[in-house]
Chains A and B, each alone.
Chain A
Amino acid sequence: MRHDPLKKKTIKKIFKVDIKELLREVSHEWDIYLPQKKIGGDVWFEQVPKAGKDFEDALMEMTLEDVDTVVSPKEIFFPQLEPLFDFNEGNIIEIAGSSPKFLLGVKPCDLQGILFADEFFSRNVKDFYYGNRIKDRFIITIGCLQPPRPDACFCTSAHTGPFAEKGYNLQFVDTGDAYLVEVGSEKGREFLVRFDSFFIDVQDTAAQNIEQIKSKASESIQLKLDFEKAISLMRSKDTVPEEIYRRTGERCIYCGGCLYVCPSCTCFNVFDDAKGGQGTRFRNWDACVFSGYTREASGNNPRHEKWLRTLRRYEHKLKHDCEISGISGCVGCGRCLSSCPVNIGMSSFIREITGEKNEK
């Protein structure tokens, strides 16, 4: 869906120096999640403590420019390990709670992953636990001026960035000392009204300014792929040679990393941890590259060979997800490549099947 530059959208502006004060206000009502820079430079989305010294310390660690998290913020709504309920002698004790979550600094590709997960977890059965976690959620995306993973991310090819077109409450566009603010939803509009002391009116040239920034940002994405061609190849029968999957699959060491870091991966395993009649039922991240993912009780496994599991992983993202939900599962974030110990990634796979040259 192309953005229509002629359509009038509400645009405001907030100075970067005012962000911390805004967050202090917001913290009274929401649990705030911000990108935090840790020792050594790693960045993670973390929940910021409520007001006080710890809150101020967390604000000090905040980074809105250099946001490259190994795992996407999907972990906020779909944690790696999630207790679902306790049980005691046959009685179920619900423990899942919810709280309003405020996320600032989500990347557009990660937003797409979150939206994908939203759809997945409400597709046939509304997932109670996921639903709880996203209730009263507020997301502010910040578009990328430079690709955070220049060798790996390809959002322009996947049409998921470097700025989001929909699905956000507010989107911040970095102009240097300030952000221009785009409204994406009614909740976003209400927020601007509530906190109007922080948001300034803009001149008519703001829309044009935004277009220029977005254009320049798109040009900065060096890695370009023929994403549509890849999807159409995957969706048409038997056009991708088995040999490509075999070669890739042989190298794979089954760490699960590519799927654990993927913003749109939602597969999970369920298990109980019990002692006597008491216990907790959990779910945790699973990955379709594992052999046990489809191993049957008899020991038979329809995906016994490695290459079949590699095939499954790529078909999930580029074929089945498109067929089921209309959008591709791959959001072009490039994390699968960045986190692969043997340099297998969506981008190199796409290049192979579309016939574009790979460096190695």
Chain B
Amino acid sequence: MKHILTTCIYCGCGCGLYLVSDGNKIIGSYPSKNHPVSRGSLCVKGWNCYEFINKRDRLTNPLIKINNTFQQAKWITALSLTADRLNEISHRYGPDSIAFLSSAKATNEENYLMMKLARAVFKTNNIDNCARLCHSPTVVGLASTFGSGAMTNTIEEFEDADVVLVTGSDTCAQHPLIGTRIIKAVLDKKTTLIVIDPRKNQLSKYATIYVSQKNGTDVAWINGMINIIISENLYSRDYVRERVEGFELLKRKVSEYTPEKVRAITSIPEDKLIEMAHIYAGAKKAMIVYSMGITQHITGVDNVQSLANLAMVTGHVGFLCTGVNPLRGQNNVQGACDMGALPDVFPGYQHVSDESARKKFEAIWNVVGLPGNPGLTAMEIMNRAETGQIKGLYIFGENPMLSDPDMNHVKKALENLEFLVVQDIFVSETAEFADVILAGSSFAEKNGTFTSTERRCQRVRKAIGCPGNSREDWKIICDVATHCGYNGMNYSNPSEIMDEITRVTPIYAGMGYDRLDPWGLLWPCPDNEHPGTKILHAGTFAKGKGTFMPRGYKPPDELPDSEYNFILTTGRIYFHWHTGTMTRRTSVLEREFPECLVEINPENAKELALRSGGLVKVTSRRGFIEAKVSITENIPKNSIFIPFHFMEAAANILTNPALDPIAMIPEYKVCAVKVEKL
């Protein structure tokens, strides 16, 4: 039996993990003792990630849909069909009639290849990944304020911060090895914790200040804090003068947000707001942590920019144990974005509209005519699939049927496509709609790299062979390209793909495999001698001077009314991962949380005469689901929380596809529903 060092497949913590192999199959998963994040620990998902890998219902052959049923096919047939159909559609309706959804779970190398396939082979910028649904406001919001859209500091710094302000993140459930670091720091009496979240969670129990704000009112309380900090002269004068522009505009904007006004909008008591402002501004080492509670709103970009404003006005960017720290969800969503699986940028965030960037890639890829107009985002792709402008779609390692908002609309969109190819390891709910299913590989079966939330690009190592006739994902994408007549994807191994990436991506320039042992490197890593970068924006911001982006409060798109009188907020729970393709095939995890539970406040439960485990029907303007309730004080009155992992009670049947106008992220965190006892 062998122990192979790799990186965990689940969240953005990027824990070092050993897969145990008996030579043929995976029989265990253990933490690395010396890895800087795992340090001998894992969460329950990491400890059990061995199990889904060799399940019998793994896709072991490509499948082609004939007469409405899937039949096993030879690789050459499936690949030619894929290439032919996509080419046909592209020629008939134009290159922008097809689109690509890349996988935030796949390796950097694979994301690079998908992006290269879309651009070099199919001449379209219609490529996106699920970051659209989670941290797209971060990428946009922090790029506009700081010049770079990534976590500014590192995970180990949470252990030594004076103050940690966590908002919109159920950290212990979603990033357990970060949440627990914060708990330890609080228990060690090192750290003061502030938690702002409508819903109580494991972390809020340890907070010095916990406030439950009204859902979607974040710009108001953040402006409120900045207002107090500026008017009481607690802001960092020198820092603001030397490093940031736009202070006067900020000062004017936030002056409207008095503590009284903030309370009226957010329901946060004045004294708490003042205390939060004092604590955050008064500390030298203060870190902001945020996740979906900030981004998944129609004001997602505004929310992120407001947090950036708060950090800049107090001089908390560019130093140890400070910064703005978005917790990237997927194991490689950071990498998928870094690799340019986005409609408007090449790898390394070089814009497609930049002619010199296009020329550079045309030279490397040996093509001409790379498109310069940004392509469509994931939500636009789905919308246009429904209306018929997108006719062909290649979905890789993603399950939009369960993860996109407004499931009934997604269903129509997928049904309306002329050609859908899905590359995955199991037949997901999305794959059911495919014309061709390409049997891909799990993280145990390929070499590559993942980039975690702290910008750590680290190795993923092949531990076993692909089951049956399934293939390594990077090989499949290369084969599709070859079947399209393109000969620029002849790599013998993922290391060669990374070598190409290092040549075209300045922030990854020093990331060749020979430099990544044992624990990877943090980007930017601009050359082969560079040790990686721990803290961003030290000295200057990535774009030189930071820019304050003052924003005003705007309410969510769909608030409760007399008919739909509850706020629905959706999210994740500890035991399951996203659409459940992996965790619902894991015995212990499925046993711990086998079905969807709607969290409801005891007062509401009493009004509805509900008992624990009682059945309810939850209806929104988009559809309805039926599920059992879990009665808890954690969710405020007149709100409910539904985890989105369960197909049989899919929360996204209910959610509102209203989008942030810049980041195009759906407002998963707020919509209006009614709840009826069944």
Contacts and interface: CB of A to CB of B under 8 A. Distances in A.
Interface of A: 36, 38-44, 46-47, 68, 70-71, 75-76, 79-82, 250-251, 253-257, 260, 269, 271, 273-275, 278-280, 284, 286, 290-292, 295, 299, 338-343, 360
Contacts of B588: 256, 269, 284, 286, 290, 292
A346 B64 CA distance: 55
A295 B592 CA distance: 9
Contacts of A79: 1, 20, 22, 27-28
Given A253-B202, A286-B588, 4 more contacts: A81-B51, A253-B44, A257-B31, A339-B31
A299 B26 contact: no
Of residues B30, B46, B57, B179, which shows the largest number of chain A Cβ atoms within 10 Å of its Cβ?
A: B30
B44 A40 contact: no
Given A75-B20, A279-B56, A299-B613, A40 B50 contact: no
Contacts of B187: 251, 342-343, 360
B5 interface: yes
A38 B47 CA distance: 19
A254 B20 contact: no
A256 B47 contact: yes
A43 B32 CA distance: 9
Interface string B165-201: 0000000100011011101100110000000000000
A46 B188 contact: no
B31 A70 contact: yes
Contacts of B31: 70, 257, 339
Given A71-B30, A291-B592, A254 B574 contact: yes
Contacts of B27: 79-82
A342 B184 contact: yes
B20 A80 contact: yes
Interface in B581-621: 587-588, 591-592, 613
16 contacts: A38-B5, A40-B34, A40-B519, A41-B33, A41-B518, A80-B20, A80-B29, A80-B50, A81-B51, A257-B31, A286-B588, A338-B33, A339-B31, A339-B40, A339-B41, A341-B43
Contact of B51 (A44, A70, A284, A339): A284
Contacts of A284: 51, 587-588
B44 A39 contact: no
Contacts, number: 138
B15 to A, nearest CB: 10
B183 A251 contact: yes
Nearest to A335: B40
A42 B5 contact: yes
B18 interface: yes
B20 A255 contact: no
Interface string B1-40: 1110100000000001010101000111111111100001
Contacts of B35: 40, 42
A273 B55 contact: yes
Nearest to B23: A47
A83 to B, nearest CB: 8
Residue of A80, A278, A299 with highest tally of chain B CB at under 10 A: A80
Interface residues of B, number: 52
B517 interface: yes
Contacts of B48: 256
Contacts of A40: 5, 16, 32, 34-35, 517-519
A194 to B, nearest CB: 26
A259 B16 CA distance: 19
Contacts of A269: 587-588, 591
Given A253-B43, A279-B56, A360-B187, A38 B172 contact: no
A106 to B, nearest CB: 16
Nearest to A44: B3
B193 to A, nearest CB: 14
Interface string B555-588: 0000000000000000000100000000000011
**Central interface residue in A39, A47, A279, by most chain B CB within 10 Å:** A39
A275 B176 CA distance: 34
A342 B29 contact: no
B56 to A, nearest CB: 4
Contact of B42 (A46, A257, A271): A257
A93 B247 CA distance: 74
B654 to A, nearest CB: 25
B554 interface: no
A338 B177 CA distance: 14
B183 A342 contact: yes
A290 B592 CA distance: 7
B91 interface: no
A81 B28 contact: yes
Nearest to A80: B28
B205 interface: yes
Contact of B40 (A38, A250, A274, A338): A338
Interface in B478-521: 517-519
Contacts of A280: 56
B592 A255 contact: no
Contacts of B46: 255
Given A70-B31, A257-B31, A46 B3 contact: yes
Contacts of B2: 46-47
Contact of A39 (B5, B42, B47): B5
Contact of A70 (B40, B176, B180, B183): B40
A254 B46 CA distance: 12
A343 B518 contact: no
A318 B5 CA distance: 34
A270 to B, nearest CB: 9
B427 to A, nearest CB: 12
The 3 closest A-B pairs by CB, nearest first: A40-B518, A80-B28, A341-B180
A42 B34 contact: yes
B518 A46 contact: no
Nearest to A269: B587
A251 B206 CA distance: 9
Contacts of B41: 255, 257, 339-341
A254 B589 CA distance: 11
Contacts of B29: 80
